[in-house]
Structures are given as C-alpha cells and as structure tokens.
Amino acid sequence: MKNLKKVTKQQLFLPIFCLFLVLLVNLFKDPSFFGISINNGVLYGRIIDVLNRGSEIAILAVGQTLVVAVSAGTDISVGSVMSLAACGTCMVLAGFGVNTTSTIQVPLIIGILFGVALGGLCGAFNGALVAKLKIQPMVATLILYTAARAIGLLFCNNQITYIRYEPYKYLGNFLPGCPIPTPIFVTIAVIIVVMLFLKKTALGTYIQSVGINSRAAKIAGLNSDMICFMCYLICGICAGMAGMVASSRIYCADSNNIGLNYELDAILAVALGGNSLGGGRFNMTGSIIGAYTIQAITTTLLAMGVSTDQAPVVKAIIVILIVVVQSPVFKSWLGKRQAKRLALSKEAA
Amino acid sequence: MKTKKKINSNNLLIMITIIMFIVMYAIGCFVYAGKGFAHVQTFLNLFITNAGLICVACGMTCVMLTGGIDISVGSLIAMDCMILAHGMGVQGWPCIPTIILILVIGVIFGLVQGFLIGYLNIQPFITTMAGMFFARGMTAVICTDQLSITQEQNALFYSWANAKIYLPAFLGYTNNKGKVMTPYVRPTVIIALLVVVVIFIVLKYTKFGRSIYAVGGNETSATMMGLNVKRTKLFAYILSSFLCSIGGICYCLNTMSGSVQQAKGFEMDAIASSVIGGTRLTGGVVNVIGSRFGVMINGTINTLVTTNGKLLSSWANIATAALLCFFIILQSVFAYFKNRNN
C-alpha cells in the first residue's frame, strides 16, 4: 500500500498512467493498433503514426513547458507562428508570388533557417512584451495569434505555395533508404538539444526559481527578465521547427490550416504531463509523454470512426477529469474523506 | 485629489479609444465617400453585424474584471446556432421554447465552468479551453452539415430576423435609382444595446457588480472584506455564458444558419475588443462602454478593408493586432507611471 502511494505521488505517474490507459483501450478494442508492417521499404502502423504525427505537438510542448514554468502563463501564438514560419520558408524558396515550383531559388538550408529564424523573431517579440513590459502572457501572445497567420498569408500572396522539390519533402516524410519517418528524428534532436541546454547549464534551475518567485530570484542576483525572454525565444524557435515539419509533410504553405489549434494541444500536453500551469517546477519528460498521449487519443478516436469534428468532446472530458483530479481542493477533500473513514474504522474496532 | 487622478488615467484610455474610433471613421468617410461610407446606414450596419459580438464582449468584460478569461464563447455561439438551426429547421421545434432552451444551456454551461474555476480553483484558461472543445465538438455531434433556417420552417424566427426598425426619414439618402432609402436597424441591435445598458448599471450600482470589481482589484482583500469570492466568480462565469447565449441568438438572427465552423476565433475578437476598450487584463479596471467602442473599432477596420476591395482580408487581422499591441503597451506605460507616482 505504501509503495503504491509512493508510485502515485510521482509526477510522471499521471502522464504514464494516461498513456497506458489509452493503449489498454486499444488493446481490447482492436489489437491491430499495435501491428507494424513494412510497405515500400518504410514502416507502417498506428504506433508509428502516433510517433510520427505527434512530432509537432511534442516539439511545441517542449517550448511551451518552459514558457509555462517561467511565467505561469501560456503562449497561445505557437500555432500561428508555425504557419508564419512555413509561409516564410516557402516564400524564400519559391520566390514571392509564385504559386507552384519544382526548382528552388535559394539553397534549402537557407530557407529552413529563415523559417526557424522567423519563429525565433516571433518568440523574441512575445518575450520582450512579457519580460520587459510585464504584460500578461496570454494577452501578449494574443497579438501574434491574430497577426502571424495573416502575415503568413501576405507572404504567400493569399494563395497556397507548393514546393514540388523532392528534398523539401524529406523533413516531414522519409529520408531515402530510411524506414523511420524523419519527424521522429527531428523531435528527438530538438528534445536532446533542449535537455542538454537545461541540464548542462544552470538555465533549468534558473527557470524554476524565476517561475516560483520572480522577485526573489531577482534579489538573489538572477536576471529574471533575461531568463523569461530566453524561454519565449526557445518557444518561438520550437514553433518554427514544428512549422517546418508540418509544411514539409504537405510540401506547401497552407497558411489557413498549418498549426490550427495546435497551441491548445501543446498547452494540454503540458497540463497532462503533470506540470502546474501556475509556473515553477516543471518536468520536460512529462510534457513529451503528454504530447504523445494526446496524439494517441486522437489516433484512437479516428481509428474508432469518430469524425475529426466530434473528437474534441472526448478531449474536453479528459481535460476536465485530469485537472479536477489534480486540483488541490479535490485532493484535500479526498484526504479528509480518507481520514474520516480511518477514524470510523478505528472507532468500530 | 489622488483618487481623482487615478480615475482620470482610466478614463483617458477610454477617451483615446473613442477618439480613435471617430478619427478612423472620419478617415473612412473621407477616403471612401464615393462608396457610401458616409451614409448613416453604413454606420448602423456596424451595429447590425456586430450585435452578437457586443453581447459577448460585455460578458467577457465581466469575466476579465475578475482577472479571468473565457475562451469558450466562440464555440458556445456555434453550438447555440446549431441547436437553433437543427431544432427549428430539422426538428420543427417552436421558436420561443428553443430560445429558452438556449438560454438555459448557457446558464448551465456557465455554472459548470464557474464551479470549476471558483470552487475548485482550476485555471480559467484551461477550464474554458475544455468548454471550447466541448461546445465545438457537440456542435459536430448534433450535425456536421451546414443548416439554414428558412421561412417555411419557422416563420416567427424568420420574421424577427428580417424585421426592420426604421429611423426618422430625414437621415436617409436617395440611391442612384432615385429611390429614397430610410436607414434602419434590426431587433438584434436593440437587444445588444439593452445588454450594454443593463450590464453597465449592474456593474456600477449593484452589490454583485461592486463585488466583481473588488475581487478583480485584489482577491485577498476582497476575502478579508467578507465578500464571497468563490460565489462572485461563479456568477461572473454564469453571466458570461448567459450573455454569450443571447449573443448566439443575435448571431443566428444575422446568419440564419448553423455550422461547425461558425464563429471561429470569436473569443479572440471579444478579448481584443475588451482590451481596446480599456479593460485592464489583470482585472479590476473596466468599462462596458469602452468595450462597446472596442467592438465598433474592430468592425470599422473590417468595413474599411472590405470597402477598399483591393486589400487582402488579412490586413484587417494585422490592423487589429497592431491596435491591440498599441493599447497593451499604452496600458503598461500608464501602469508604470502610476507605480512611480505611488
């Protein structure tokens, strides 16, 4: 009993438990969920699909976790920034106003760097507003939430720009001769870089201390504003990366649809990962597991034949259940009930 | 003396909003005089198309006053429209019970959200995000097609939607066919203006309105004053969802249809309108009149872009965002000066 309590007290318990539950439902409902086959030299299967499609959410969740930890707020612009980065890249690669192209104007790497840099720029803008001007994160990022998608449309001259250039598709699909989808590698790379950054430098600890009490951290000699700014910058770069993957998947810049509602999934992933949305301590692994859990839920629902439009109902109920279980009020109520029961059983004895 | 100064800085923001609206509209009249921008009807159309948004922005203002946020409004409107369209169009329900059903659903929706936020201390953003998912999903569960309400299906609702309330004839103009056009408003405009007046009075003169201000100003001191913070928050969210339902009916009267994609991004429009109208986002400072002007500015930008015809529609979004940025920075500059004076 004591050991069980120890396990349930762990921060990672909730996300792993949720993921396990989703997989269990699938096991009973349709065991073919776990089947993996090789067609045309690449891996196929629902599990691969979850890992592949969950890449964008996982990358976004990495950035979002830092933002939530440092400022107790959320960056709601990430979905729009994804779309802006994709449009920027396609504009640079195809040239302004070109609808479809099979040759690219500049080397691929420059285009992709441009997109990621655009993401970084957006992150810096958000960071400046939040860190320097002390504006509520949600409202500060509301500006880019509204504007970024619209600017992306301007970049693409209000149309969908197609890049029919084979290497551009590698990032979101498959590298030639490699059976594993590339987005999985991209995600792993992003996670490793950020993790190294957090573990090898003191940044991770700094972020926690600023998140717990920004003034105390300042008095202790930390540059709170700079640390907050850095987190938003990283979040923007992550959004740029996710935008690249999403755009490469469909080898075009579809400004209206890339990254639609992804900000909500990213925030959900953070909450699901057992992180408090009130800032402070954070657990990156939890967020990443949360991201794949969300994708697993989506894939499961789609596999069961629930339409994309109807899936949100289930998502909403899951969110409410999770946050209610996590809420301190509910926990203390549960504790009180348990104590009462203990007292009663003692009396009876 | 000091209190007077504080009030002035808050009123100044609203003054800037109103002046900006007038200037923007004047520029529109000047540049697009040939396209009918100066007609009274164009001005009234701003109210007609934004009647739903005005109601929603009023509710949003109350919620933001408590320091919270309600992002479920857009989806709730979509659900309301779908229930109206499906109920009256497909099921053939009578008009008035359906509308009462919508209002009841709004109250229940707000009750659940308010309970989670007020009594279980769950972050408003997460709670209302779940509400947003839920309402949008339920819209799709009811029906995934686009439904519209026709005259045969519900004559009463149809007649409300097409009712015109004419203004005095001297405000009219003669169109190029030589016919005199009298300016008119729709019943939705009356509803929206009524909502603004009622909310203004409630916030200013009732106990409930006063407690909302107190909770938004400082939660701890409100608790110490003996106010029931939890209940105030609960009622604020009920009010928001209820007003949102009224807004949904207005919206449906305008569009006469229901679809899953309806009113997407509406919550952000409402938040932007409140901010432009001078609502302090950390809570405590608000004016419903300002929010109404925020909606009008939003509408004017859209009208300007569509009247031009050549500009891409995305310019409207960019202009709104730029304005939002301007007002947010202005707010923080004011807050900075206030802190320095203290």
For A87-110, how does the pLDDT look when each residue is reduced to its tens digit (9 = 90+)?
Answer: 999 999 988 878 888 888 888 999
CA-based nearest residue to B207, from B177, B176, B231, B174: B231
pLDDT of residue B2: 45
Greatest Cα pair distance, chain B, in angstroms, is: 68
pLDDT of residue A275: 82
Question: ∠ CA(B220), CA(B221), CA(B225), 5° rounding?
Answer: 120
Residue A19 has pLDDT above 50, yes or no: yes
Residue B278 has pLDDT above 60, yes or no: yes
Of the listed ranges A221-235, B159-173, B227-241, the least confidently predicted one is: B159-173
pLDDT tens figures, A288-318: 999 999 899 888 888 888 888 888 888 888 7
Q: Which of residues 43-82 of B touch A (CB under 8 A)?
A: 69
pLDDT confidence band for B282 (50 / 70 / 90): low
pLDDT of residue A1: 55
Share of chain B above pLDDT 90, in %: 20
Judge contact between A178 and A116, C-beta under 8 A.
no
Please state the domain extents for chain A: 46-293, 306-338
In a domain, B169, yes or no: yes
Average pLDDT over residues A196-215: 89
pLDDT tens figures, B243-273: 999 999 999 998 888 888 887 778 888 888 8
More confident residue, B171 or A204: A204
Class for domain A46-293, per CATH?
mainly alpha
Please give the C-alpha separations between residue B253 and each of B51, B152, B242, B258, B265, in angstroms, as whole numbers: 10, 16, 17, 11, 19
Residue A189 has pLDDT above 60, yes or no: yes
pLDDT of residue B111: 95
In a domain, B113, yes or no: yes
The reply to whether A332 touches chain B by the CB within 8 Å rule is no
In a domain, B290, yes or no: yes
Average pLDDT over residues A183-193: 94
pLDDT confidence band for A5 (50 / 70 / 90): low
Average pLDDT over residues A104-119: 92
Residue B305 has pLDDT above 90, yes or no: no
Phi-psi bin for A327: left (phi > 0), alpha (psi -120 to 50), beta?
A: beta
- Tell me the residue range of the domain where B242 lies: 42-337
Residues 6+ positions from B244 with CB-CB distance below 8 Å: B55, B56, B59, B70, B72, B73, B76, B77, B80, B106
Q: A325: buried, middle or exposed (CB in 10 Å: 19+, 13-18, 0-12)?
A: exposed
In a domain, B35, yes or no: no
The reply to whether B311 touches chain A by the CB within 8 Å rule is no
In a domain, B48, yes or no: yes
Average pLDDT over residues A121-149: 90
Share of chain A above pLDDT 90, in %: 33
- Rounded CA-CA distance A246/A318 in Å is 26
pLDDT of residue B1: 40
CATH code at position B53: 1.10.3470
What is the count of structural domains for chain B?
Answer: 1
pLDDT confidence band for A59 (50 / 70 / 90): very high
The reply to whether B123 touches chain A by the CB within 8 Å rule is yes
pLDDT tens figures, B106-156: 999 999 999 999 998 888 888 888 898 899 989 988 888 888 888 777 778
Residue B78 has pLDDT above 60, yes or no: yes
- Rounded CA-CA distance A28/A280 in Å is 39
Please name the member of B134, B275, B281 whose beta carbon is closest to the beta carbon of A316: B134
In a domain, B92, yes or no: yes
Chain B, nearest residue to A255 by Cα = B314
Coil, strand or helix at A38 = strand
In a domain, B37, yes or no: no
**Tokens standing for B122?**
């769950």
The reply to whether A320 touches chain B by the CB within 8 Å rule is yes
Average pLDDT, chain B: 83
A177 CA: distance to closest CA in chain B (Å): 40
Q: Select the residue from A142, A157, A256 to test the B interface by mutation, using most B Cβ atoms within 10 A.
A: A142
